[in-house]
Amino acid sequence: MAAAVLAFWGAAWCLPDASRIARVLGPEADTPALRARLESSWRDLHARLGKDILLNPSSWSYGFPGRAEVPAGWTEVPDALLDSARSFYMRSGHEDEPNILNAVARLRPTREGLNPRIYFYGGAYIYGLAAWIGLGAALTPAALVPGVAYYMENPAQLAWLYWLGRTFSGALYLAVTALLAFLGRRHFGAAAGLAAAALWAASPGVVMQASYMKPHIMGTFCTLAAFALAAELLRRDDARWGVAAGAAAGLAMAAVAHHGLACLIVAAAAGLRLAGGKPWRGEALWTAKAAGAFILAFLAGTPYLLTEPRTTLAALGEVGRSAPFSLAQVGRLLSLGLPRALTLPVYAALAVGTAWGFRQKDPVLRLALAGFLPFVAAYAILPHAVQMDAVRYLAGLPLGLLLAGAAAARFGRAGLAAAACAALFAGVQSAVLDFNLAADRPGRSTRDAAGDWLEAEVPAGAELGLLRLPQPSNAPYFRWSRYRLSFIQPEVFAGLPADAALPEWLVLTHPTYDDRVAAGPTLSRYELVKRFSPRAPRGLELPFGQTYGNPTVDVYKRRG
């Protein structure tokens, strides 16, 4: 029950709403003429970028040259703010969700229509999400209508689609929780399963994944399923379980490319069986079948790799080039990312469970280690290791927490009590996170509060600086025409010479990133005059710049 509350409490945060459109454009601006203009610009944008937007260099830009200005007092939305205006009609508070929803809308039962053209995320997730939204639309007031015109006129209907997409993540979060409890009970006892499931479900970085549309939690479920099937292979000595584990690993890769590391669980199971004296010919036979099942499942989830191989490989190459390579990323994950994502008590339980697992000879425990550790090592080529929700890349996390639950049960009452306290603390922190997500509604969010303050304290016509074009996610909500807006790309702002002219006011919003770092040394020429922070009791504050809902908003004024 507690996990269900954590999964769905904050699912409606920062969704399209007519009141926020009126807030930034003015109540008189929402006219059929403006919506028609925005719809036309939407079509022009997609025509200009092409059907494979990812391959167009413009898709990686800030949307304006190094520096741009918009004068105050306009009555018709300037061209420079068209994309921003359209975003308030169509976007949620998570910058990736609109792209995912657009990918779902593009699906058709044709050769080209099977390609969602969002190569960061696999087709298996997009297909599953589309089925979930379709079913949800049949059971709720949500409407599925072609094109964007209907949704621009009815933003509440678009909000329904975002909400349905987020509940898919919430349902997968609950599925992982239930499977983890089952696996613990199946192999190590009911107490171990309950402890492992509680540690997983209570962790803030996990709860955040349940609150937005992204495929990683589906990849995590498929990875855990691959482990469950491989563990049955070890317990039952039936190779069919190993072949099924290969198929589950293929689906994990079809959801998120690097979650294909789940195949190492199958390889580890084969290695453990060989070490136990199984003849290599039999192991080679079922392992080859498992590899075939892996490939077939992967291609079933990404059929466009067969129908459009050249385009798909080019796009995957583009994605690969954006990946860093740094062993320091692993250190950042271990020292910053995991403590933020799990809280220190759960992280301690994970560390104890992992260390304890190294000393055990039980093949299922060894298999859990073999499934967990490669995902940690993979952060050498993964970004954002210090962010609280970067744990989404760690599809093997439930296996690490399974070790923690098994260790807690082996240590008896003291171990289970420690695990319960860790889960309770993490659950309270997750409740604070969910509270701020739930509070990110029209008129209640930090973005609204910051907009109220700006309009009350900053005189009309003043120059307001921002490092990004405003979207629902990254700027406070205020009347844009009230101020002279100055947009400066972060790297340009950070490199401005000491005598460069600066906007009198600067506004930084920090949804899962810290723009104080991006602003660089130029920020020292400003003083912080007002901060709007997520709400939290003392001692339970969320890490700075680590929450999408109710993010921190800073208002600076130029010195001198």
* Residue 554 Rama label (left phi>0; alpha psi -120 to 50; beta): beta
Least reliable range by pLDDT among 222-226, 341-345, 512-516 = 512-516
Half-sphere exposure of 504 (CA within 13 A, CB side): 9
d(CA 474, CA 172): 28
d(CA 535, CA 426): 17
CB atoms closer than 10 angstroms to residue 240: 14
DSSP class of residue 114?
G
DSSP class of residue 334?
I
475-484 residue pLDDT tens: 999 999 999 9
Residue pair 397/217 in contact by the 8 Å Cβ criterion: no
Q: Measuring CA to CA, how many Å separate 219 from each of 250, 341, 398, 466?
A: 10, 18, 12, 36
d(CA 348, CA 344): 6
| pTM of the full structure | 0.95
pLDDT, average across residues 72-79: 94
410-457 residue pLDDT tens: 999 999 999 999 999 999 999 999 999 999 999 999 999 999 999 999
At residue 58, the pLDDT reads 67
290-339 residue pLDDT tens: 999 999 999 999 999 999 998 888 888 877 777 778 899 999 999 999 99
At residue 50, the pLDDT reads 81
Q: Tell whether the model's pLDDT for residue 154 goes beyond 90.
A: yes
Name the H helices within 308-359: 309-321, 328-332, 338-342, 344-358
3-state secondary structure of 343: coil
